[in-house]
């Protein structure tokens, strides 16, 4: 039984006149991965990223939040350390995420909470606020 290519396997590599053979290191580049759809992977990752819908507070929850804010407003001169759970809108997709913001309270008013380091949070995006007790 004759095997395939037995008749040409021992022949020397053909060479074209005027065209030198490609170096082995350059030949390997032909087989490097190629991203035909540039940005497709990023688009898939972005689509898979989850966002949350903003929670609308009911009357009872809004009243509890207002009580907490009023109590903290009375302590504003002390500059208490507070943790604010605030809705942050997503720049790309519908919705956003609830992020905790930690800072020293400066004041509450005009529909906003002012914290240290020039942080200003709209009250409409606040879900919860709590004073953080510091251990010394």
81 pLDDT more than 70? yes
135 pLDDT more than 60? no
Give the structural domain span for 62: 1-136
> Beta strand pairing status for 119-122 and 126-131?
unpaired
Taking only the tens place, the pLDDT of each residue in 98-113 is 999 999 999 999 999 9
Q: What is the pTM of this model?
A: 0.65
- Alpha-helical regions (H) of the chain: 24-27, 40-48, 59-74
Averaged pLDDT score across all residues of the chain: 88
- How many Å apart are CA 130 and CA 69, to the nearest integer? 9
pLDDT at res. 78 = 93
Taking only the tens place, the pLDDT of each residue in 66-79 is 999 999 999 999 99
Q: How many domains does the chain have?
A: 1
Closest CA to 103 of 123, 127, 85, 124: 85
Q: What is the CATH number of the domain that holds 30?
A: 2.30.30.100
């Amino acid at each position: 039984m004759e095997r395939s290519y037995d008749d040409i396997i021992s022949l020397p590599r053909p060479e074209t006149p005027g065209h030198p053979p490609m170096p082995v290191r350059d030949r390997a580049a032909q087989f490097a991965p190629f991203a035909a759809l540039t940005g497709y992977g990023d688009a898939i990752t972005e689509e898979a990223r989850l966002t949350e819908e903003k929670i609308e507070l009911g009357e009872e929850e809004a009243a509890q939040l207002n009580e907490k804010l009023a109590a903290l407003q009375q302590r504003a001169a002390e500059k208490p350390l507070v943790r604010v759970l605030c809705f942050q809108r997503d720049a790309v997709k519908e919705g956003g995420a609830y992020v905790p913001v930690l800072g020293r309270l400066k004041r509450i008013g005009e529909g906003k909470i002012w914290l240290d380091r020039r942080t200003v949070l709209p009250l409409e995006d606040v879900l919860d606020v709590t004073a953080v007790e510091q251990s010394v």
